[in-house]
Structure 1
Amino acid sequence: MKNYVTPLKDRVPLGQKAAFGAGHLVLNLLPGALGVFMFFLLTAFGMDPFLAGLLGGLPRIFDAITDPIMGFISDNTKSKWGRRRPYIFVGAILSGILFALLWQLDPESTQNYNFWYFLIMSMVFLIGNTMFATPLVGLGYEMTSDYNERTRLMAFSQTIGQIAWMIVPWFWVIISDPDMLPISAEKISEIAALGLNEADAAKTTLEAVQANGVRKLSVIVGIACIVLGILPAFFCKGIDSANMENRKEISLKSLGSNLMDLFRGIAQVSKNKPFVKLCGATFLVFNGFQMVAAFSVYIIVFYMYNGSYDAAGTLPAWFSTVTAIITAFGVIPIVSWMANKYGKRKAFIYSTAISILGYILKWWAFDPESVWLLFMPIPFMAFGLGGLFTLMMSMTADVCDLDELENGMPRKEGTFGAIYWWMVKLGQALALVLGGAVLKAVGFDGAAAQQTVETMTSLRLADVFIPSITAGLAIVIMWKYSLSETRAKKIKEQLVERRGEL
């Protein structure tokens, strides 16, 4: 098996890989920017924390409904441009425009108006984003039928996607810097005319700078998403679906039967044991990481710099950026090599075990006397998420072959992708809630200038143990994952014979 060479017809050209990667950059850039911008709902636009929490949670419920529907639609679409590409093209344009419109809030509007404006626009934005994201993921699963080329394709796309995480941490700096995206002279005059004392004037000016920065930067992000997001629609090629059998008619007339077919498809996917293992392992690794993702910032500020954000400076941003760089150009190529040499299951187990070592090393990384130790665990920790999505997306493509063998046409890449990412999003929402619960349990007080020694010790222990335990459980789940390279290639041979392909 290790002397196997991918046939030329199954190789994805570099241009298609780059276009698919551009789509993944958008998939990372939009939620990354959204996560940063949501913070400024509180500071720049004066939103009540409870209402801001609702604005973060309610749209996710709506998103959980639209993802499987879009997956079903793209699986069964018939067009001369293929099943996925028309939606990717339209969805990229809508995503960019609607993201920019979402953030054109006015801090002088009432809180009630801004709440309903943002909530409604979030729902509309998610429709456009789902129209882009779900077909794009499905397209990636069908761009090649080769076991090893799938890993190379996903590794390439994940590398490009990491560029978003090199950029996003600096949005904090850009939005709050009055020189980067300056407010108008008229606004400065308005603030001066209020006759505030120096402290209040500085606070009001900062809020105006942040609101202006969010509005302008959202437009820049939206334009970038349109330009990059349409590339897969033009340059990527999926499976030839011209003669694909058993596709359902997509129309208002067939809405009732379509819903029944959708539920049957979801039930079939849920019975796929290898896929359930992939979902379970992803849930644990990703959401264990997400639960403590913000803890590093708090530990840097309150443990290393005694609560001084000014003293911490751009160190938290550099921490995130360096992690993304190492993931993109160091970890992902190594994980891809391990998958080709040892198989995807072993590559996942090895990379996840290495990440546990990184999480443990974090205990010694936050040293006020030696700032550079902060970057010590990054090369090890990066194997967690760097290996996770590279391998899981490649393995999900293999699972789609197994589903075709067991359940026939049409292939359900869109449905598999939608359910996988729905599970990720649902888990992420749960992780944010549990992360807040951990902060409360350890006694962390965000309004306090400093934290107690006991609080910081407990927070640092949680920062080490939570992702280590969840990653260990993921290894247990994947230990007996059954869809090996040998089995996957045998399934491909059976499908080729069934379809009558050469």
Structure 2
Amino acid sequence: MEKLHTANTNQKVPTIQKIAFGSGHLVNNLLPGALGVFSFFLITAFGIEPGIAGLLSAIPRLVDALTDPVMGFISDNTTTKWGRRRPYIFIGAILCSILFAVQWQMFEENGTVYNFWYFLFFSILFIVANTIFSTPLIGLGYELTSDTKERTRLMGFANSIGQVSWMIVPLFWSLIANKDLFESQADGVRTLSIFVGFACLIFGLLPAIFCREQDVSNKDNKADLTLKSLAKNMKLLLQEIKNISKNMPFMRLCGATFLVFNGFQMVASFSYFIIVYYMYNGSYEATGNVPPFFSIIGAFLTAVMIIPIVTWMANKFGKKNAFIISTFISIIGYILKWWCYVKVDENTYMLFEDMFIQVGVVKFSIEMPLILLLPIPLMSFGLGGLFTLMMSMTADVCDLDELRNGLPRREGTFGAIYWWMVKIGQSIALALGGLVLSVVGFDASKAVQSIETMNDLRLADILIPSLTAAIAIIVMWNYKLNEDRVAKIKAELEVRRANRKNKM
């Protein structure tokens, strides 16, 4: 274990700002989560061909990949009396909340061609608006405190609040398909999108209103954001990206995140298929709400138990060591699934048997095989620890970048490139996940799958995330930006800033 720096830096983030920043993370999770569920109904509710529906998802992602770094650069170089992040967060929250609802106001009678162009147009606008909101929000989080331990506490708190989204999103499947609530699935999508948009508007504005930035740069350090300087700024952005690519601690963070997150994403849908086709022999009726509650329980445990534990480990043993420990625990959880996914029969002990939760006119069965709960908290250490630690360590990396490359600080650009890598990796992972399903011979049109297919699928469900997590541990093993080094960098930066202020 590295020797930890123990200086008391008095850089606490006020609770109201932590809550406000966390509410922004709730929006950052709720919008893509809801988008993922609603996109399924492009096929079943609005009659769009699966291939075309895939295109409707891919094109906005391409736009997203191009706009993220640009928005990060703009945010880093903005100067206003309200700060360089908050105006964009405020405007972006309003725009993306409205556009999320608007893009789903389609009607079947308009025809698939009209709906295709309608959805494509407004989804591109939504993606751009979401970038205006989310990229500065991530950058804002990196600069709310300069204390390395408080950064971990802040990111842990924000990610715990963000997990609330993943307790809500799985319920959308049941709500949209409920005929007691909506006349059709299309009506369910249209109505729920308005509620989601309104919730995101309220929570999305809070970071802009209550958070306070710590921008140590001034106008002289920043690029001139005018059309006249467009070519010059693009060249400068490319140079910054090149410099960031040489930042080896940051590259290790990106590589480890790519491995852990996308290893999980590749098999994310496998649990659903294994529960339905292996545990319940292909009976959706018998399966009930087990798959969504499997996800909800994971999100709940991540928020109330896993993230606080990881935060404590990081501040006790160091962030790198906390990552290695939590990732190793997640591997144990993945392996345990082999024994915990069991054939459900009359001898299987059920938790909450024949119990329901009533939400208005909708009843949700919460019956769950008890043994299925065993791997959940262990697996949750993977993603629960990942983003809490990586976001905190990225803030540390921004200190290193200022030391090497000067002002302005580039939290927005670092955040944009980090999440751009996550998004690109997720697209690749989802494609590879579909390929794995084909290789093992899985056919969703068949109620009964062969034993060989299900065993191969179960092995893939364990081996893929375990292998990528193990490689991520190797990637992070020689991560050098520990707490002692971050403290020394911070001290040197403070001396530089004091000297600069005296000269001015």
TM-score range, shorter chain: over 0.9
Read off the aligned partner of 2:413 and give its amino acid letter: T
Residue 37 of structure 1 corresponds to which residue in structure 2? 38
Q: Tell me, yes or no, if the aligned pair for 2:254 and 2:421 is still in contact at 8 Å.
A: yes
1:431 is matched with 429
Distance 1:37 1:365 in 2: 31
Q: Distance in 2 between matches of 1:240 and 1:249?
A: 17
User: How far apart, CA to CA, are the structure 2 residues paired with 1:489 and 1:242?
Assistant: 20
Distance in 2 (CA, whole Å) between partners of 1:244 and 1:325 is 44
- Where does residue 411 of structure 2 map in the other structure? 413
- Quote the offset at 1:108 in angstroms: 2.1
Q: Which residue of 1 aligns with 2:89?
A: 88
Given the superposition, is the C-alpha separation of residues 500 and 241 from structure 1 closer, same or farther in structure 2, using an over 3 Å criterion? closer
Matched position secondary structure for 2:383:
helix
Aligned ranges for residues 225-374 of structure 1 at < 5 Å?
225-241=200-216, 243=218, 245-369=220-344, 370=348, 371-374=369-372
Shift of 1:254: 1.1
Q: What are the equivalent positions in structure 2 for 1:390-409 lying under 5 Å apart?
A: 390-409=388-407
Deviates more, 1:148-157 or 1:50-59: 50-59
| Whole-angstrom CA distance in 1 between matches of 2:273 and 2:73 | 42
Corresponding residue of 2:358: none
- Dislocated runs of 4+, deviation >2 Å: 1-8, 240-245
What amino acid is the match of 1:71? G
The 1-side partners of 2:411 and 2:219 are apart by 13
1:368 to partner: Cα distance:
2.3
Correspondence 1:214 to 2:189:
yes
Given the alignment of the two structures, is residue 15 of structure 1 paired with residue 16 of structure 2, yes or no?
A: yes
Pairwise CA distance, 1:7: 3.0
Structure 2: distance between partners of 1:55 and 1:221 = 20
- Structure 2 segments unaligned to the other structure (5+ residues): 349-368
Alignment deviations for residues 184-232 of structure 1 (CA, whole Å, 9 cap, x no partner): xxxxxxxxxxxxxxxxxxxxxxxxx211000000000000000000100
Instruction: Between 125-134 and 104-113, report the one with greater CA deviation.
Output: 104-113
**The 10-residue stretch of structure 1 (347-356 or 237-246) with the greater mean CA deviation from structure 2:** 237-246
Aligned to 1:451: 449
**Which range moved further: 47-56 or 128-137?**
47-56
Paired residue secondary structure (1:458): helix
| Match of residue 496 from structure 1 | 494
- Which amino acid is 2:459 matched to? L
Contact 2:21/2:211 (8 A) holds in 1: yes
- 2:6 aligned partner, one-letter code: Y
Instruction: Please say if residues 6 and 149 of structure 1, whose CA atoms lie closer than 8 Å, have aligned partners that are also in contact.
Output: no
Letter in 1 for 2:102: L
For residue 460 of structure 2, the aligned residue among 456, 459, 462 is 462
Displacement after TM superposition at 1:167 (Å): 0.6
Q: In 1, are the aligned partners of 2:76 and 2:409 still within 8 Å (CA)?
A: yes
Q: Does the Cα contact within 8 Å between 1:244 and 1:409 map onto a contact in 2?
A: no
> How many angstroms does 1:387 deviate by?
0.2
Q: What RMSD, in angstroms, separates the aligned Cα atoms of the two structures?
A: 1.2
Distance of 1:337 and 1:242 partners within structure 2: 32
Report deviation, 1:5: 5.4
**Which letter does structure 1 place at the counterpart of 2:430?**
L
* Counterpart code for 1:320: S
Q: Pick from 464, 476, 484 the counterpart of residue 486 of structure 1.
A: 484
1:472 counterpart residue number: 470
Partners of 1:32 and 1:164 within 8 A in 2: yes
Q: Percent identity?
A: 61
Aligned-partner residue type, residue 361 of structure 1: L
Kindly report which structure 2 residues correspond to 1:113-192, keeping only aligned pairs within 5 A, or say none.
113-180=114-181, 182-183=182-183
Matched, 1:54 2:55: yes
| Contact 2:4–2:484 (8 Å) recurs in 1 | no
Alignment coverage as a number of residue pairs: 475
Match of 1:4 in 2: 6
TM-score (norm 2): 0.93
* Aligned partner letter, 2:100: F
**Cα shift readout 1:88-117 (whole Å, capped 9, x = no counterpart):** 000001110000011111122221221121
Could you tell me whether the CA contact under 8 Å between 1:244 and 1:410 is conserved in 2?
A: no
Secondary structure (helix, strand or coil) at the match of 2:88 reads: helix
Checking the alignment, whether the CA contact within 8 Å between 2:143 and 2:411 is kept in structure 1 is yes
